[in-house]
Structure 1
Amino acid sequence: MKFMMEMMVPSEPQRSRKQGRVQGVCVLLLSALAASADKVLILEIPPHPVPTGSDVTLRCRLRNGDIIAAFFFFGGSRVGSGPKSELIITNIQQTDEGLYSCSTDMFGSSPQRFLKVKVSQDGSEVEVYEGVESVLLPCQVSIPQGEDMKVMWKHREFKILVHMHGSDVDDLRNQSQRYANRTSMRADALQTGDLSLTLRNPTVSDSGTYTCILQRDGREESQGEVHLKVKASSVSLRRLFCHLVVFCPYCISTGLLLSICYNKKTPNRPAASMEVTQQHEEAQALAEECDDVTADVTTEHAF
């Protein structure tokens, strides 16, 4: 019996190991509770890449699903002035790509979540009339870290190089003669992410799909497309009105000069007729006076 009691009572090393396991479990539970307490807020963000040009709404929620007014952060910097229930990003571009989070004074900060932006496969469309001075083909990207960065613009249908920019300068050695002296980009394009291309004096033959390609160390990082449509030049009503305003005075002056010259060469018949009539009346009056004088002379001779 004594032997059985000794077998049931744990030894000192066994008690120490059991206490260690219990303490370990308690520590894990406390850590889990602390982690859950730190992550009461959840940032609601699109799980898939968002195409450029679309609108995105970010919301801050509690674990129970309730939306709460919070401060929003992008890349560690606060967006906006005060707490709000949602953050709306309109016409999103690749420069909006990055880490977002939300925070409140009561519940702390949410885990950071990455918003991925992709260039829309449909691309943007630009439409102009032939004869304009220039047209801008837009391209906005997020510039990654790295060396040997360059951007190329190509015409997809013609398969020719339209423009190349790298190391803060243009590299036009392989540029198609079709676009010689007609293209330009910002000098700080690879710093700002604004890779837009300016095409001067666009013509109908320039219409087509243009591809903007960003390369790093020879590898393609991102790509965007712009559909350019150049319409044949047409005279607008406004331009027609301007032409009329300019040329009408000349037309009126010419008409008046021609009318004056014509009147000078053509005799004025009504005026001549009036002179003849007046002369005839004067002759009749003179004849009547002569008759009166003759009558007076005859009378005196009779006496």
Structure 2
Amino acid sequence: MMKMLVKFMILVHGVSVLLLLSGLTVSAVSLNISPNFQQFFREASVSLSCVEDGQTVDGWTVKRTKGEKTEECRVDGSDFGSFNGFSCFISFLSQSDSTGYWCETSSGQKTEQINITVPDGTGGDQVILEIPALPVIIGSDVTLRCKKKDNNRFRAVFFKNGVNIGTGSEGELPLISVQQSDEGVYHCYIDEDKPTPQSRLRVREPPSASVVRLILHLVVFCPFFISTGLMVSICCSRKTGNRAVVSMEMSQRVTGGHGLDKDC
């Protein structure tokens, strides 16, 4: 019975070690974009970086798709943009920069993808919807803006999932205390101009990474320490039992020896 218990505890201990190693490497790296929009005018600029808890991280590279090819932001700018050691900077955006971007490690770990859209059109004819590229936290306020490149304010009509949801006299649509139901695909019109491209507004629960990590560490560490403690306890009890047996054997031998002396 004792041998079976020891084998079971060794198994639990081994699994706990594996969980511990995997749990400590949980990453919250994400792609950050500045300014925080999905749609940009031609010739605008954007900065992309791989961050964790608001700080840039090493070992991650900004990548994007180009047709069926994957491109990487390099120091020499041979694929796209220019990497300065912290961020990937793309200046003079063009329609060819409309694609999905993400962060990736050499081992293949990837972040969630962000889509950037640069509509066609020139000069003041360019129309975009300023909508956050990063997920919006539930309960926060967001303002969607339908804009022309000349930056003048116009009456705009806004649509969500193809349904008219309101008109902004100055091209703005405030979303107060955003909820999960506000998630969807948005676009807008200015006067009789063609519509802007469609972009998805993503909504997320409030950040709780620290709580999740605490729970994860508790879930991982508890079995590890419990199994370790039980194994130590079992080992100690076995050693104590062995010493007791040896002590009894020694006592019997000594008693037996005295008896022989007495007989002699």
TM-score by length of 2: 0.36
Q: Which of the pair has the greater relative contact order for Cα pairs under 8 Å at 6+ separation?
A: 2
TM-score by length of 1: 0.33
